[in-house]
Amino acid sequence: MSDKLEVGFARSVSVKGGLAVLLQAKDGDGPSSADGAITAGAVARAAGIAEFKAKSMGVLDFIAPEDAAADRVVVVGLGASSDLVAYDWFRAGGTAASKIGSSSAVAVFLDAPGVEVSAANAADFAAGMLLRAYKFDKYKTKRDKDGEEKDKKVKVTIVTAAAADAKKAFADAQAVVAGAILARDLVNEPPNVLGPVEFAAKAKELEKLGAEVEILDEKDMRKLGMGALLGVAQGSSRPPRLAVIQWKGGKAKAKPVAFVGKGVVFDTGGISIKPAGGMEDMKGDMGGAAAVIGLMHALAARKAKVNAVGILGLVENMPDGNAQRPGDIVTSMSGQTIEIINTDAEGRLVLGDALWYCNERFNPAFMINLATLTGAVLVALGTQHAGLFSNDDTLSDNLLKAGLHTQEKLWRLPLAPEYDKLIDSKFADMKNTGGRNAGAITAAQFLQRFVKDTPWAHLDVAGTAMASPATEISTTWASGFGVRLLDELVRANYEG
């Protein structure tokens, strides 16, 4: 649900009621020009009374005096102007959006005294507003307890000297926001509504943006020998799908960059069934696939100059008379055999086949997979960083940098032969769990057995894709983690 705010840019505006948002740096003067929405003196008086010091994301919120053109005024603090980084513009936009309340018209006066505001900053501010305004309320039939109207539209005008360029920069930013919101919507969607077939249909919709989309069904996957993925799917009455999305925005001969997502639309654990408490959260076990489709949406919508492939492994993990058992041995597309120890370690089985397929068919420049793969990564890193595992230091460093830039943060964890040994099996080439210790790492070692020497990174997003704490730009259950991160990775390193 992304359509609450309608954002435009202008060099000036004539305010008639509504909310005026002003910005102020700690080391700058108070806001001066606000097109008559409010006088500098009135702002200074309110700031004095409230002891507002413009610390980063501090807010001064007051009703405008009678003679002002605006009804309400919000001043957002930026902290010291020399400390400002790109992400602060997202945060400031998100903070402003959180203060809209019942206003249906908002004028944002972006050019704070002493602060150089670029077109990119303005676009990021607008993106922050949109991300913060997101609500997943399509299944609520009544008004919220705060009485807010469900489908209320808010018109936002962002006033800045850089308006013309900001508008252009915003077109790109909007593509990325739409991708992140697509990912959030899919993760928030209940599992009865979103099965593998429905998810695949969502992927198919990317054709409208010029992407090529193929959907492989069970028969196709059986022909390819994807016994690991199919073993997970066989306990569900809803059949699996593999979605293959291609965006060809780069040079014809350039190797594609590839992204592979775990799309377990619901994870009961299968025969190794999970405890009841909190199991509803496992509707979000397709957060990796949601990030990949969101990223592909972003790249296609902003016509990124890159060849990219997105692959989604879509299955449901259910207990059933036909479900796979602990002790089963399955043969993956790679030919390697896997002893199932725990049917709840299903994500790696899906990804093993999806990664192998991706590598064989596309010979990509690199592969990055995203997966809500282990509870163990939550134990290790909590909700602030996703786990990063990689066989390539350059790819890893580029990812870490993009993580800091977007504040979708990563922390690198090790891979090593000593860990790999832990998934050797008595009866098959490997087993699908490695025991109690180092659970996030042994899961990553499993995946590495399906990537050969291709540069590869695995992001374990179990702690960051859902149920993560609120930030200035996200208050919803599903964060959309990974879309902004990977868009930035591509933009900074692999375009053109």
One of 184, 262, 302, 348 is an active-site residue; which one? 348
One of 26, 99, 274, 409 is an active-site residue; which one? 274
Nearest CB to Zn ion, comparing residues 35 and 267: 267
Strand partners, 310: 245, 259
Quick check: is 99 catalytic?
Answer: no
Which residues ranging from 310 to 349 are in contact with Zn ion (CB under 5 A)? 347
Which residues ranging from 230 to 289 are in contact with Mn ion (CB under 5 A)? 267
The site map against ligand BES for 266-305 (x = CB under 6 A) is -x-----------------x--------------------
Q: How many CB atoms lie within 10 A of CB 85?
A: 11
- Among Zn ion, ligand BES, Mn ion, none, the one that 310 touches (CB under a kind-dependent 5 to 8 A) is none
Say whether residue 460 binds Mn ion (CB under 5 A). Answer: no
* Contact present, 487 and 196 (Cβ < 8 Å): no
Considering only 7, 345, 351, 368, the residue that binds ligand BES (CB under 6 A) is 345
* Contact present, 263 and 236 (Cβ < 8 Å): no
Nearest CB to ligand BES, comparing residues 174 and 474: 474
Nearest CB to ligand BES, comparing residues 185 and 344: 344
> Which residues contact residue 114 at a Cβ distance below 8 angstroms, ignoring those fewer than 6 apart?
25, 27, 28, 29, 81
Min. distance of Cβ 157 from Zn ion in angstroms?
44
Q: Which residue is nearest to ligand BES (CB)?
A: 375
Beta-strand ranges (E) seen in 223-351 are: 241-248, 257-267, 307-317, 329-331, 337-339
> Which residues contact residue 126 at a Cβ distance below 8 angstroms, ignoring those fewer than 6 apart?
7, 9, 93, 156, 158, 166, 170, 173, 174
Which tokens is 226 given?
Answer: 């994807």
Quick check: is 255 catalytic?
Answer: no
* Contact present, 304 and 200 (Cβ < 8 Å): no
Q: Is 231 helix (H, G, I), strand (E, B) or coil?
A: helix
Say whether residue 439 binds ligand BES (CB under 6 A). Answer: yes
DSSP per-residue letters across 71-132: SEEEEEE---GGG--HHHHHHHHHHHHTT-TT-SEEEEE---TT----HHHHHHHHHHHHHH
How does strand 307-317 pair with strand 241-248? antiparallel
- Among Zn ion, ligand BES, Mn ion, none, the one that 396 touches (CB under a kind-dependent 5 to 8 A) is none
The CA-atom distances, in angstroms, between 121 and each of 89, 167, 209, 337, 487 are 6, 11, 26, 51, 17
Min. distance of Cβ 347 from ligand BES in angstroms?
5
Considering only 35, 88, 189, 344, the residue that binds Mn ion (CB under 5 A) is 344
Among 317, 448, 462, residue whose Cα is nearest residue 376: 462
Distance, in Å, from the CA atom of 349 to the CA atom of 367, rounded to the nearest integer, reads 17
Instruction: Count Cβ neighbours within 10 Å for each residue of 411-424 and write b for 16 or more, e otherwise.
Output: ebbebeeebbebbe
Q: Which residue is nearest to Zn ion (CB)?
A: 267
- Among Mn ion, ligand BES, Zn ion, none, the one that 464 touches (CB under a kind-dependent 5 to 8 A) is none
φ/ψ bin of 23: left (φ > 0), alpha (ψ from -120 to 50), beta (otherwise): beta
Say whether residue 487 binds Zn ion (CB under 5 A). Answer: no
The site map against Zn ion for 210-249 (x = CB under 5 A) is ----------------------------------------
Interacting span for Mn ion (CB under 5 A) from 194-202, 338-346, 371-379, 398-406:
338-346
Min. distance of Cβ 462 from ligand BES in angstroms?
4
Interacting span for ligand BES (CB under 6 A) from 199-207, 319-327, 337-345, 414-422:
337-345
Say whether residue 344 binds ligand BES (CB under 6 A). Answer: yes
The site map against Mn ion for 212-241 (x = CB under 5 A) is ------------------------------
Nearest CB to ligand BES, comparing residues 376 and 447: 376
Distance, in Å, from the CA atom of 443 to the CA atom of 465, rounded to the nearest integer, reads 18
Considering only 98, 374, 398, 476, the residue that binds ligand BES (CB under 6 A) is 374
Percent helix, strand and coil across the chain, each to the nearest 5: 35, 20, 45
**Residues at the site binding Mn ion, with contacts judged by CB under 5 A:** 267, 344, 346
Residues annotated as catalytic (active site), given as ranges: 274, 348
**Residues at the site binding ligand BES, with contacts judged by CB under 6 A:** 267, 285, 342, 344-347, 372, 374-376, 433, 439, 462
**Residues at the site binding Zn ion, with contacts judged by CB under 5 A:** 264, 267, 285, 347
